[in-house]
Amino acid sequence: MEGKYPNLSKPIKLGNVYFKNRMFGAPMGGTDITADCTVGPMSTAFYEYRAKGGAASVTVSELVVHPKTEGSHMYHLDLHTPGSLSSFTYTADAIRRHGAIASVELSHSGQYSGTYLTDKDKKEGLAQWGPSNGTRPDGREVKELTQDLIDEIVEAYGEKAALAKKAGFEMVMVHGGHGWLINQFLSPYFNKRTDKYGGSLENRVRFAQEVLDSVRKAVGEGFPIEFRMSGSELFDGGYDLNEGIEIAKLIEDKIDLLHVSAGTYQRGFGVTHPSMFLPHGSNVYLAEAIKKHVKVPVATLGGLNDPQMMEDIIASGKADVVEMARALLADPELPKKVVTNKDDLIVRCLRCYTCMAERAQTATRRCTVNPIIGRELNNMEILPAAVKKKVLVVGGGPGGLQAAYTAARRGHEVILCEKNDEVGGILIGEQAIPFKYEMYQLGVTLGKLCESVGVDIRLNTPVTKELAETINADAIIVAAGSEPFLPPIKGLDGENVILINNYHHEKEKVTDKVIVLGGGLAGCEVAIHFAREGKQVKLVEMNSELSPDANVRHRPLLLSEIEKSGIEVYKNHKALEVNANGVVCSNKENETLLIEGTSVVCALGQRARRDIVDELWNSAPIVSQIGDCVKVSTITTAVYQGHHAAMDV
């Protein structure tokens, strides 16, 4: 078969091991870690999902090599804890049985040990160890590792690598980036030692070299070792790309794959895990620069989800391997779709950070566009239904499309009626905002996926009770979505006012002096977009906070973008009237003032479309309602509820 992406699909040999293509699954923390730090069955299923999807390798993270000096509640692997080795063996096996190479990330957080520990009492009892004495940003004391402890940790890397090999892993990844212990030794910012591990670059690299020697001794020649490093720490005082190149040169003969990531978790989260505000592939330049100076194969990653871009990266020699984390949550079958030329069916990652926010807040895993993530074992496998039914889905937004897709995959006869002339619902408007384009694409792709499984999509078809009764479905899933909420503010019907949902049709009406009314998530994002277009932007919000509806990972980056973009923010300003000169507001002190602007984009929220639910609630034996028409919420909620409504038919 003629492949569209021959470079991505081509096998590669690292050490003595053959990898079936160039698309590797980057490490992502597991969903359940048992009380004694072994891999739970849910996590095994979480990793297996990506192996099934066709990734050449799947890396299990993060195996803490030396629990004595690293108290984070992550995976431990030892011979004393019952179930420890066996859990890793089952996990490696689950990955390998799909033809993917199982790898495990060997890690130590160093001075950041315990940062992500959800048990705060336990955290209080921990000691943090780093290359040098110091105080962490959260005020906790960091103790300098003694030579004895360094020797123990170096040895522990080897011990854990040997156990991983015993468990059936065929590669190990040594985590030397993102601000964790090995990175702390490499960094002039963290490492102030005056012994053989500090000072010159050669000395700062010594710890990494000793770790890699210890791992090599444990696993033997030919067993691939991948080293993850940040090509540059990307903050003042950290090492830069030039030093990154030198570090790479000093370790390359000890490894089989150099994995070049970027920045640090603590000081550049939105760069290490590139946010939607950055271009795709924003960190590739680091791998490309380093690759020019080393012979060892190089991997790159960061915000990669477009097959053509990834193909070009390999074809042009910028890297030998591409790795993906979030893109493989959104669509674990991405690699399979690439090698079978079905790339138009790839559900793309939105870079919305739902995955990372859920982890931070509830220690669970979720993906906005993939309802199965984190719930792989909850009877989520899509099997043919015992009794085939006729299902009518009302509304072609993300929830309705997901419902139709899942129902059709279960073998039901599915009709989806959409009142507009295209599917996508509220996502259609996102096409006008470049950094949210994937949200628009989600609607398009879900539409194609529905077509691929035979959903009968009827556009320009509003559903009335009569139509529903004529269709005579066994089940109706109402996914009617929401409509803009318009408070009784004088002048909102004016010529200079554009509803955010209509912006993609009315772009030319937005002038160079624009006021965005409403500082929720949608308002903040469109304001950033206008500022990027060079417009003078004023953002008016009646509450004291901007975008409280954004998740904990996205929000800080959103607020920093607003600040960087020079947007004038008016919090605690209630709009009273819109006129040709701008928006008349009252402020906290109850003063009335005019915020000047020549056009006004209205982002005052949405409200549930209940009329359709009220009309259809008894038009079939089973009627379910999902997404915004129940309660205005997120794409995540709509997709998740749509999937489950279809599973329940």
CA 257, chain centre distance (Å): 24
The answer to whether 297 and 256 have CB atoms below 8 angstroms apart is yes
Question: Is residue 567 part of the contact set for ligand FMN (CB under 6 A)?
Answer: no
Strand duo 17-19 + 141-144: pairing: unpaired
Question: Is residue 302 part of the contact set for ligand FMN (CB under 6 A)?
Answer: yes
Residue 75 or residue 223: which is nearer to ligand FMN going by CB? 75
* Side chain identity at residue 170, one-letter code: E
Residue 307 or residue 582: which is nearer to ligand FMN going by CB? 307
Tell me which of 355, 403, 521, 550 binds ligand FMN, using CB under 6 A: 355
Long-range contact list for 450-453, CB < 8 A, 24+ apart? Answer: 450/401, 450/404, 450/405, 450/408, 450/414, 450/416, 450/423, 452/345, 453/405, 453/408, 453/409
Residue 359 or residue 554: which is nearer to ligand FMN going by CB? 359
Which of 139, 171, 210, 122 is closest to 17 using CA atoms? Answer: 171
Tell me which of 22, 160, 348, 359 binds ligand FMN, using CB under 6 A: 359
Residue 206 or residue 553: which is nearer to ligand FMN going by CB? 553
Per-residue binding letters, 59-98, with ligand FMN (x by CB under 6 A)? --xx------------------------------------
Which of 421, 417, 361, 449 is closest to 639 using CA atoms? Answer: 449
Closest contact distance (angstroms) between CB of 490 and ligand FMN is: 46
Question: Is residue 103 part of the contact set for ligand FMN (CB under 6 A)?
Answer: no
- The strand ranges marked E within 216-313 are 225-230, 257-261, 298-301
The residue count for binding ligand FMN (CB under 6 A) is 23
Residue 29 or residue 71: which is nearer to ligand FMN going by CB? 29
Closest contact distance (angstroms) between CB of 626 and ligand FMN is: 25
Question: Is residue 297 part of the contact set for ligand FMN (CB under 6 A)?
Answer: no
Distance CA 515, CA 527 (A): 8
DSSP string, 52-67: HTT-SEEEEEEEES-G
The answer to whether 328 and 53 have CB atoms below 8 angstroms apart is yes
Q: Which stretch binds ligand FMN (CB under 6 A): 82-90, 143-151, 295-303, 382-390?
A: 295-303
Q: Which of residues 29-48 bind ligand FMN (CB under 6 A)?
A: 29
Closest contact distance (angstroms) between CB of 345 and ligand FMN is: 19
Question: Is residue 264 part of the contact set for ligand FMN (CB under 6 A)?
Answer: no
Question: Is residue 438 part of the contact set for ligand FMN (CB under 6 A)?
Answer: no
Long-range contact list for 343-348, CB < 8 A, 24+ apart? Answer: 343/4, 343/5, 343/307, 344/445, 344/448, 345/445, 345/448, 345/449, 345/452, 346/305, 346/307, 346/445, 347/442, 347/445, 347/446, 347/449, 348/305, 348/306, 348/438, 348/441, 348/442, 348/445
Closest contact distance (angstroms) between CB of 311 and ligand FMN is: 16
Residue 366 or residue 574: which is nearer to ligand FMN going by CB? 366
Question: Is residue 632 part of the contact set for ligand FMN (CB under 6 A)?
Answer: no
Closest contact distance (angstroms) between CB of 74 and ligand FMN is: 8
For residue 170, which phi and psi values (nearest 5 degrees)? -110, 5
Question: Is residue 274 part of the contact set for ligand FMN (CB under 6 A)?
Answer: yes
Question: Is residue 301 part of the contact set for ligand FMN (CB under 6 A)?
Answer: yes
Distance CA 575, CA 455 (A): 45
Residue 20 or residue 178: which is nearer to ligand FMN going by CB? 178
Place of tokens 């890699």: 212
Question: Is residue 165 part of the contact set for ligand FMN (CB under 6 A)?
Answer: no
The answer to whether 604 and 485 have CB atoms below 8 angstroms apart is yes
Tell me which of 15, 27, 424, 443 binds ligand FMN, using CB under 6 A: 27
Residue 178 or residue 291: which is nearer to ligand FMN going by CB? 178
Binding residues (CB under 6 A) for ligand FMN: these are 26-29, 61-62, 105, 175, 178, 261, 273-274, 301-304, 324-327, 355-356, 359
